[in-house]
Amino acid sequence: MDGADATIDRTEQTTVYRVDFKPTTGGKTVKHHKWVTEDDLQADN
C-alpha cells in the first residue's frame, strides 16, 4: 500500500463509533473492531 493513490468518493458529517465485541463462539474480546455510523446500529429488541 505504500505509495498507493486513492480517491475520496464522498464524505458525510455524522457521528461514528468504534465497536468492541466478544465472539459468541468464545475467545477474547475484540477491541476497536471497526468504525460504524448511527445508520449501521439498530436497537436490541
* Confidence at residue 3, expressed as pLDDT on a 0 to 100 scale: 92
* Confidence at residue 41, expressed as pLDDT on a 0 to 100 scale: 78
**DSSP annotation string for the chain:** -TT------------EEE--B--TT--PPBPS--EEEGGG-----
Question: Which amino acid appears at position 30 of this protein?
Answer: V
Question: Which amino acid appears at position 34 of this protein?
Answer: K
* Confidence at residue 10, expressed as pLDDT on a 0 to 100 scale: 93
CB proximity list for 22: less than 8 A, separation 6 or greater: 28, 29, 30
Residues 2-34 have pLDDT tens digits of: 999 999 999 989 888 888 888 899 889 988 888
* Confidence at residue 45, expressed as pLDDT on a 0 to 100 scale: 63
Q: Which residue has the higher pLDDT, 5 or 44?
A: 5
Phi/psi for 37 (5° steps) reads: -100, 170
**34 is a domain residue:** yes
The domain of 24 spans: 13-45
**1 is a domain residue:** no
Question: Which amino acid appears at position 11 of this protein?
Answer: T
Give me the number of domains the chain comprises. 1
* Confidence at residue 5, expressed as pLDDT on a 0 to 100 scale: 96
